[in-house]
A = this chain, B = another copy of it.
Amino acid sequence: MKFVVGHKNPDTDSIASAIVLAYFLDCYPAKLGKLNPETEFVLRKFGVMEPETIESAKNKELILVDHSEKSQSLDDLEEGKLLAIVDHHKVGLTTVEPILYYAKPVGATATVIAELYFKKALDLIGGKNKELTPAYAGLLLSAIISDTVLFKSPTTTELDKEMAKKLAEIAGIKNIEEFGLEILKAKSIVGKLKPEEIVEMDYKVYDFNGKKVMVGQVEVIDVKEVEDKKEEIKRLLKEKLEKEGYDLILFMITDIMREGSEILVIGNKEMFEKAFNVKLEGDSIFLEGVMSRKKQIIPPLERVYK
């Protein structure tokens, strides 16, 4: 059986890319873990079923989307047959055999897939150039909006905007801004979540030279939404650090409107200070303009851990 699957703690880009690419490749979409509230909202809005959850790579052929880090994939990835990777992140793994690899430094994996569709070039990666349905166009559009925070993230490229426009036409969405705010609001039900839910919502685990590092992120319309839960969030992260042997945990509270992130820093604070050339007072700091984990947090961290 052949599956297209995104990363652990799936976000809208991982789910939408898996569903739509599986459609073009004539195979099955899958997910690694529960949907977040934003993705649930998006699937409901377009009337699309959620992909099945898989727990092992055994006896499966796999196409990874939206990630290439082993730590973000199936634990037993090596038990399966890795056929392909379609992504927009840094290269996170090496392979033993040649595979199909297609990644572009753009805002979302959905952009990469949409471009192949509009160029009628899906056959380059073994797919069919079938018609994109309005619902699937809506999923890809939502994924781009989500990953680029409505084109405000510094990862945003002209291609993301161009694809979003074309997808909106097919999906029958007249006002992308308005639709985008609707999605961001679904995201920002954060205010209603418990601290333990916020912590688990969207995090990624990295292995930097043998040191485990976790970077979580939550996006809010206003940092105040989580103000009264911050102490409890820090306590939970400290617990996680000790239990699971992390060297460092960062938690980004990204303020979409102010365009920056408050970073909670748990564990090896010196590494954080060195990476970002800042001095911490207490255990958090607001970084102006920092909204992207992938582009603004991971590269400097990886450099200092080298």
Contacts and interface: CB of A to CB of B under 8 A. Distances in A.
Contacts of A119: 121, 123-124
B103 A98 contact: yes
Contacts of A103: 98-102
Nearest to A303: B96
B94 A105 contact: no
Given A121-B121, A121-B124, A105 B96 contact: no
A104 interface: yes
A182 interface: no
Interface stretch (A51-59, A268-276, A294-302): A294-302
B98 A294 contact: yes
A302 B98 CA distance: 13
A65 to B, nearest CB: 14
A91 interface: yes
Contact of A96 (B90, B93, B115, B123): B90
A85 to B, nearest CB: 8
Interface string A35-77: 0000000000000000000000000000000000000000000
A93 B90 CA distance: 10
How many identical chains are in the complex? 2
Interface string A80-114: 00000001111111111111111111000000000
B303 A98 contact: no
A81 B302 CA distance: 16
A91 to B, nearest CB: 4
Task: Output the residue of A89, A104, A116 with the most chain B CB within 10 A.
Answer: A104
Nearest to A98: B105
A108 to B, nearest CB: 12
A100 B111 CA distance: 13
A233 B122 CA distance: 48
Interface in A107-156: 115-116, 119, 121, 123-124
Contacts of A299: 96-97
A105 B96 CA distance: 12
| 3 nearest A-B pairs in the assembled complex, by CB-CB distance | A98-B105, A101-B103, A91-B95
